[in-house]
Chain A
């Protein structure tokens, strides 16, 4: 598996966990939903850390673009974190309608965010960052 495939797989894994949490909420299984949401938050944060701490700085250094696409991606990461908080609040209140609404918003936000990364940013990172493959593989296995 190359670096882009590895990063893309991390996206897909998080999608699958979100879907699992959604199913649990729809079934009224709040215990399972809580566990799955915790896993989702951890996995997403791990992925964001790899991007924000390693990938984006390397891209910015290689291209000189500090306020371009990486700034947009960081901003969207922040929005995703806020939505995760909203979902946590709904989870604590066992409010299924609120949770499902925030989860759908998160899903669409994540999907359009992933599209930008997978279609545009990752190929550009692969093109401009020396040692891109090693950086991602080391970060993913950390």
Chain B
């Protein structure tokens, strides 16, 4: 019998996922602050500021929220315990923040080699620790469901993304003689399709049917993740050996994206809880997934319009990634607060429901601000010089509102905790 099974109830303490979630929202605020002084006059995907902003969003915002949610989901759905929270915070959280800050700073200040090298080492260490925790835990877990298997694939893709990133930094620093562009495109593909899309695929197969009460995903969706990994390998080989054929393999990668989005839409239409704000948020995620996927594929064929890669990146990372993570945060955070307070055995009537921590109206406002942020971002991709102020302000507004709501949850949590302590002493 596995150790994971024996430690069945070893769900992480609240501070573990909450640290990642809070850091993710603070990075969103930092993204807005970085956008304010940005002075990229025209769209250029290789501009240092743009590369810095992309990594602030991908690693700082999405990477943090996805890692926190992954640790929680591994414990709850796959019996992978996270009882040694301090070790995980030390091994994953701290190097992740330091590495991201150094990477963003390194890019922002013109690809500073020392900062990038230090960042690559720290981020690889954090990702190795996360992947080891997840993959070794999953190997010993009795769980064999779609989400558990999908999370293993996503972690594998994250590891490959990190190694490709390390290769890129060493190549940029002149320490490795690798071909830069194939390495760069491979890194982007593994990050976007491997880590982000595969994790979305894994998590949604549990989350959509369970939270929105839909029929389950069909059995063939299980093999989609493995197919994506194989296609990613084919794409990387094409990039290194037959770069002219990239459009074909990239086109093949679009197939699982379209199949997943269409299937998800069909399930969402059959949902028995269409009034839940989460329903609209997932509808949006699927729309951005199709838009981002098609735009990214067009980038491999149509290089005349430099704004296109920016749009693909915004819609994929901001539309799909941020849309899905904000949607799930709206459900996970209030429930975790409720669950951890419940363990204190509060007197009946003292503990509010999840809506007492975050009402549905706040979740709807987050969705609205996110849509406005994407609109401002789309304008910025079209004319960066003209709309960067609008994009910066909308980023700050979204981050400030999300942080304010997060702060309200924390204050409510502490108030109930104090009330329980007071009730226990009387």
Contact = CB atoms under 8 A, between A and B. Distances in A.
Interface of A: 15-16, 18-20, 22-23, 26, 63, 68-69, 72, 79, 82, 86, 97-98, 100-102, 104-105, 107-109, 111-112, 114-116, 118-120, 123-124
15 contacts: A15-B272, A16-B213, A19-B273, A26-B275, A72-B8, A79-B342, A101-B355, A105-B354, A115-B76, A116-B8, A119-B77, A119-B79, A120-B8, A120-B79, A124-B142
A135 to B, nearest CB: 20
B281 interface: no
A19 B76 CA distance: 23
B151 to A, nearest CB: 12
Interface of B: 1, 5-6, 8-9, 76-79, 141-145, 148, 206, 210-211, 213, 272-273, 275-276, 331, 335, 338-339, 342, 348, 352-356, 360
A79 B211 CA distance: 19
A37 to B, nearest CB: 15
Contacts, number: 84
Nearest to A100: B355
A63 to B, nearest CB: 8
Contact of A119 (B6, B143, B342): B143
Contacts of A15: 210, 213, 272
Task: Output the residue of B9, B210, B348, B352 with the most chain A CB within 10 A.
Answer: B210
A104 B354 contact: yes
Contacts of B206: 115
B202 to A, nearest CB: 13
Nearest to A115: B77
Nearest to B353: A101
Q: Which 8 A-B residue pairings sit nearest by Cβ, starting from the closest?
A: A101-B353, A101-B355, A19-B272, A111-B210, A119-B143, A69-B8, A19-B213, A105-B353
B145 A119 contact: yes
Contacts of B145: 118-119
Given A20-B272, A22-B273, A111 B211 contact: yes
Contact of B356 (A26, A101, A114): A101
A119 B76 CA distance: 10
Given A108-B354, A112-B77, A115-B206, 12 more contacts: A23-B272, A69-B8, A98-B353, A104-B355, A105-B353, A109-B339, A112-B76, A119-B78, A119-B148, A120-B142, A120-B143, A123-B144
A20 B274 CA distance: 11
Contacts of A18: 213
B155 to A, nearest CB: 17
Given A115-B206, A123-B144, A86 B273 contact: no
B232 to A, nearest CB: 27
A108 B77 contact: no
Contacts of A116: 8, 76-77, 79
A97 B335 CA distance: 17
Nearest to B276: A104
A107 B211 CA distance: 7
Contact of A82 (B210, B275, B348): B348
A28 to B, nearest CB: 13
A23 B275 contact: yes
Contacts of A97: 355
A108 B353 CA distance: 11
Contacts of A124: 5, 142
